[in-house]
Amino acid sequence: GATWCNGDCAWAGDRCVRKGEAVQMNHQRFAFPPDTRPSGCTDTFSDLSDLKVSVVIPWLGEAWEHMRDTLQALIHFTPDELIEEFMFISDGNPDSREKELKEISPKVKVLALPKRHGLIIAKMKGVEMAVGPVIVFMEAHCIVNRNWLQPLLERVRLNPKTLAMPVLDAIPQHNWRSYNTMPIGHWRFEWNLNLVYTNPGYVIGHTSEPFPSPGTSGGIFAMRKDWFQQLDLWDPGMLEWGGDHVELTFKTWRCGGGIEI
């Protein structure tokens, strides 16, 4: 953490660390994604430090490489003053990986559920523990990109009843270190409640302006903790993904809130 290096240390990015640590960090560095933001996106934001975020990451049977890179990307691309904690909720895994995760960041907290409760209960346990006023739900196999968080927080500040989602690019299932840009669109439901991602006419391709979305995928989004709790989310009878996004969508819109991308 020093501002200078002597013969016993080396630079790793913008940090001065022990030489052995620098070698390890470089070897384990996550694959940097290309800057896929629309050209109109800004790098200047208002002071958002009062909206500290608790990042809630439930996981079951994830590869360590994916979890490590997810956390490293979050640390690299997120201003430290906006992060309250990174919360990893181990849903009955035999090894919660608490030691390894906490070695990466002192802001890591781990909740190890002794038996599997299912995705929804794991998320709700994370919300109960969260300290920050804003919850960001994340998955344990994601690489965030440049300035990913600030636009979400700005929409939540403008309207505290907003559920703010990022545009999601794609990492191929069998090539973790690659990155595919996806078109800008929104989530909607078909009549059978099947969730689909489409590009509606009112959304200009590569726009940098936020726009409403009829639905949410339910996996990755930002929301105030008090608003989430006021909506009494989620139904504890749900175990896994498949109905949570329906409940989340209907409650958000019908209780005076909104969903934005």
Rounded Cα–Cα distance for residues 175 and 192 (Å)? 33
Q: Which residues are registered as beta bridge partners of 136?
A: 55, 222
Bridge pairing between strands 195-198 and 134-137 = unpaired
CA distance 71 to 76: 9
Percent of the chain's residues with pLDDT above 70: 87
- The C-alpha atoms of residue 261 and residue 257 are separated, in whole angstroms, by 14
Domain presence at residue 236: yes
Instruction: Output the domain CATH number for residue 82.
Output: 3.90.550.10
Say if 39 falls within a structural domain.
no
Q: Percent of the chain at pLDDT above 90?
A: 54
Integer Cα distance of 61 and 103 in angstroms: 20
* pLDDT at residue 39 in the model: 79
Enter the tokens of residue 242.
């498949």
* pLDDT the model gives residue 180: 81
In-domain check, residue 117 = yes
- Evaluate whether residue 124 is within a structural domain: yes
Q: How many domains does the chain have?
A: 1
Distance between CA 51 and CA 224 in Å, rounded?
A: 9
Residue 67 one-letter amino acid: M
Residue 21 counted as domain residue: no
Output the pLDDT for position 17.
55
Residue 75, in any domain of the structure: yes
User: What is d(CA 173, CA 221) in angstroms, rounded to the nearest whole number?
Assistant: 21
Tell me, yes or no, whether 18 lies in a domain: no
Q: Is residue 206 part of a domain?
A: yes
- Domain enclosing residue 140, as ranges: 53-260
What H or E segment, with its residue span, contains residue 24? helix 19-27
Predicted pLDDT of residue 81: 96
Question: What is the pLDDT, as a whole number, of residue 6?
Answer: 56
pLDDT tens for 133-164 read 999 999 999 999 999 999 999 999 999 999 99
CA atoms within 13 A on the CB side of 229: 12
Q: Does residue 163 contact residue 134 with C-beta atoms inside 8 Å?
A: no
Each residue's pLDDT tens digit in the chain (261 positions)? 444 555 555 444 445 555 444 444 444 577 888 888 887 787 888 899 999 999 999 999 999 999 999 999 999 999 999 999 999 999 999 999 999 999 999 999 999 999 999 999 999 999 999 999 999 999 999 999 999 999 999 999 999 999 999 988 888 878 888 888 877 877 787 788 777 777 776 666 667 888 888 888 888 999 999 999 999 988 888 777 777 888 989 999 999 999 999
Question: Quick one: pLDDT at residue 218?
Answer: 82
What is the predicted pLDDT for the residue at 28? 56
